[in-house]
């Protein structure tokens, strides 16, 4: 079974690029299930129409992160659409779900969305304990985790903690693809960060001059704007044994013009 995971989608141009490229890539690689992190589809947050565009483009499940609730019109959508997930370790009063089990020809696939605590601006529940609580409820043999976190050590630590009990864990949030895709000793696939789907000539998808001005100390704060120009798609392809739920291989993915 081939499972494709796509890194943080940044901006409307990236959504359009996925619409052009994703189904073709799915066919080329015989992808059976696709998870897309869409929390930056509106640069900061995601709109319901953008989520629908990502589903139409080929996403089976959309995961989110620290900007999950940035757009107010997404709140009811999260309750209505069961295959868009916000981090499970946020307040239980939050709209939407943090995990789900989804039917496929290979049986149920569970997807869990978690958010890290290191270097974040708020205090979610401990993702390690939340993962344990969710795993106790699952019936699916194939279990996937999108860990939206800043610290590479936190991402690796959770992967090692869950090694052998989940199928794959990947990191999102930093928008920089890492080169460490591998199988952990007990059969869990892991990559520290999938990377970003968005403008190639940018700083994490944003106009470079905006980020540069902030680092130069500009007191003026303006909303982030998506950079212009050609886009890229980054992610990872996990080859899964559906009988055991173990990961057989991890392949980094980069698609660009």
Name the residues annotated as catalytic. Answer: 67
Dihedral Cα 199, 200, 203, 209, nearest 10 deg? -80
Q: Contact 158/147 with Cβ under 8 angstroms?
A: yes
73: exposed, middle or buried (C-beta count within 10 Å: 0-12, 13-18, 19+)? exposed
What element of type H or E holds 98? none
| Residue 165 CB neighbours (<10 A) | 15
* Strands 246-256 vs 231-241: parallel, antiparallel or unpaired: antiparallel
Query: Helix count (H) and strand count (E) of the chain?
Result: 6, 14
């Amino acid at each position: 079974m081939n499972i494709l995971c796509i890194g943080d989608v940044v901006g409307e141009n990236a959504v359009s690029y996925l619409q052009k490229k994703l189904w073709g890539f799915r066919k080329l690689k015989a992808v059976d299930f696709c998870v897309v992190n869409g929390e930056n589809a509106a640069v900061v947050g995601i709109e319901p129409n953008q989520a629908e565009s990502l589903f139409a483009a080929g996403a089976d499940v959309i995961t989110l992160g620290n900007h999950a609730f940035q757009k107010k019109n997404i709140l009811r959508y999260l309750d209505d659409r069961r295959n868009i997930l916000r981090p499970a370790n946020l307040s239980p009063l939050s709209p939407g779900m943090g995990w789900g089990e989804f039917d496929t020809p290979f049986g149920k696939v569970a997807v869990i969305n978690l958010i890290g605590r290191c270097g974040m601006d708020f205090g979610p529940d401990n993702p390690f304990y939340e993962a344990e609580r969710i795993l106790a409820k699952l019936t699916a043999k194939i279990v996937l985790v999108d860990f939206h976190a800043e610290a590479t050590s936190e991402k690796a630590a959770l992967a090692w903690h869950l090694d052998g009990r989940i199928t794959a864990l990947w990191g999102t949030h930093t928008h920089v693809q890492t080169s460490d895709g591998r199988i952990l000793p007990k059969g869990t696939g892991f990559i520290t960060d999938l990377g970003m789907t968005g403008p190639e000539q940018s700083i994490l998808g944003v106009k470079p001059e905006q980020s540069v001005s902030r680092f130069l100390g500009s007191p003026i704060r303006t909303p982030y704007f998506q950079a212009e120009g050609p886009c890229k798609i980054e992610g990872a392809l996990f080859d899964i044994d559906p009988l055991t739920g173990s990961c057989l291989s991890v392949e980094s993915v980069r698609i660009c013009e």
